[in-house]
């Protein structure tokens, strides 16, 4: 599904960045370039033979200082399907737990001469800090409340497969906007591509000044979801909360949970998304999450492998001496 309406420069000029730390700073054509590059891997992943030796001989380190299941597994599968040697580093078994500084860890990773490093960290800015200290491309797999760029890219790829275009698309992002790096990256990505973004959250979970990100903020979910084409739900990030942000899970579901009745307020063909993991019965009901004809949640997982394959491919082209990427 390469976009015929998209034009971008040839070779490395199409994506001149050394790494992928965030969506911020990417031009719309650079985002579309990555989406287009992912399409070949969507096709490959749907065949019985899913392996290519494109990155044979290269080493990818997945350095996860913060726990993850979906993102780590997705990056691992992506690297292995491209033929790379993939090494996973878990924070629970790393020297960080023994008091090693982030800069020392960066120096250690750099000394291992990896060809790309995928980093997930609980602190905003940690990925950029490491990226500045290593010689290879760095991919941000989520850093604190900052960004989660590959999640935004896979969400955009999912929406494009379902809706074909972004211009004028009405997208509602509802949930814990304040603590969500997924929300931030999606706002940056989808608004850049021409979508109309509404964000909805309780007052305590809505960032101050969110209007500056070119979105319409709502506290009333019924008003926000009216006429929506895509409804993206977010979980409550209790691990990042200190204090009482909501009265109770039951009250939160009543006001901000996606139910069948509430979905009926959206466009008749509105689609449902969730980055996972889901808290069923709180931010989304099971009979909504499991709607075969409306839910894109499993498609998001599929698109995640493809977009991460594309990112690993594109960001290692210079190291591999690909023509036009010197």
Q: Which of 50, 70, 161, 262 is catalytic?
A: 70
Q: Which of 121, 148, 170, 317 is catalytic?
A: 148
The hierarchical CATH code for the domain 15-147+302-320 is 3.40.50.1370
Q: Which of 81, 120, 184, 235 is catalytic?
A: 120
Using omega within 30 degrees of 0 as the cis cutoff, is the peptide bond preceding 277 cis?
Answer: yes
Domain boundaries, the chain: 15-147+302-320, 149-296
Q: Is 320 a catalytic residue?
A: no
Q: Is 71 a catalytic residue?
A: yes
Smallest CA-to-CA distance from 105 within 94, 113, 114, 116 is with 94
**Residue the block writes with tokens 């449902």:** 272
Which CATH number, 3.40.50.300, 1.10.630.10, 3.40.50.1370, 3.30.1130.10, labels domain 149-296? 3.40.50.1370
Answer left, alpha or beta for residue 168, where phi above 0 means left and psi between -120 and 50 means alpha.
left
- CA–CA dist 140, 149 (Å, integer): 7
* CATH fold match for the domains 15-147+302-320 and 149-296: yes
Sign of the torsion angle spanned by Cα atoms 46, 51, 56, 60: positive
Q: Is 98 a catalytic residue?
A: yes
| pTM for the structure as a whole | 0.94
Q: Is 70 a catalytic residue?
A: yes
326 residues of the chain, pLDDT tens digit each? 454 446 789 999 999 999 999 999 999 999 999 999 999 999 999 999 999 999 999 999 999 998 888 999 999 999 999 999 999 988 655 656 666 788 888 899 999 999 999 999 999 999 999 999 999 999 999 999 999 999 999 999 999 999 999 999 999 999 999 999 999 999 999 999 999 999 999 999 999 999 999 999 999 999 999 999 999 999 886 554 454 567 688 899 999 999 999 999 999 999 999 999 999 999 999 999 999 999 999 999 999 999 999 999 999 999 999 999 97
User: Residues with Cβ < 8 Å from 8, sequence gap 6 or more?
Assistant: 14, 29, 30, 32, 33
């Amino acid at each position: 599904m390469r976009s015929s309406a998209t034009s971008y420069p040839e070779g490395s000029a199409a994506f001149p960045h050394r790494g992928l730390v965030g969506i911020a700073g990417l031009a719309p054509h650079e985002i579309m370039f990555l989406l287009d590059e992912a399409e070949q891997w969507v096709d490959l992943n749907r065949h019985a033979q899913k392996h290519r030796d494109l990155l044979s001989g290269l080493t990818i380190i997945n350095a996860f200082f913060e726990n993850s299941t979906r993102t780590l597994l997705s990056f691992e599968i992506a690297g292995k399907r491209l033929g790379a040697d993939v090494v996973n580093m878990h924070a629970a078994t790393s020297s960080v737990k023994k008091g090693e500084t982030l800069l020392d860890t960066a120096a250690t990773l750099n000394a291992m001469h990896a060809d790309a490093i995928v980093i997930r960290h609980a602190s905003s800015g940690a990925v950029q800090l490491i990226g500045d200290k290593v010689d290879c491309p760095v991919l941000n797999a989520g850093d604190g409340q900052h960004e989660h760029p590959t999640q935004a890219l896979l969400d955009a790829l999912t929406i494009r497969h379902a809706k074909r275009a972004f211009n004028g698309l009405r997208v509602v992002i509802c949930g814990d906007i304040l603590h969500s790096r997924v929300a931030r990256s999606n706002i940056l990505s989808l608004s850049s591509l021409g979508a109309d973004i509404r964000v909805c959250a309780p007052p305590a979970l809505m960032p101050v000044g969110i209007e500056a990100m070119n979105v319409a903020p709502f506290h009333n979910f019924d008003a926000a979801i009216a006429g929506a084409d895509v409804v993206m739900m977010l979980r409550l990030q209790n691990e990042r909360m200190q204090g009482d942000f909501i009265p109770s899970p039951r009250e939160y579901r009543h006001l901000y949970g996606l139910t069948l009745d509430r979905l009926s307020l959206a466009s008749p063909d509105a689609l449902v998304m969730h980055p996972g993991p889901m808290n069923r019965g709180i931010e989304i009901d099971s009979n909504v999450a499991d709607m075969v004809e409306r839910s894109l949640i499993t498609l998001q997982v599929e698109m995640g492998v493809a977009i991460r394959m594309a990112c690993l491919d594109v960001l290692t082209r210079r190291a591999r001496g690909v023509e036009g990427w010197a």
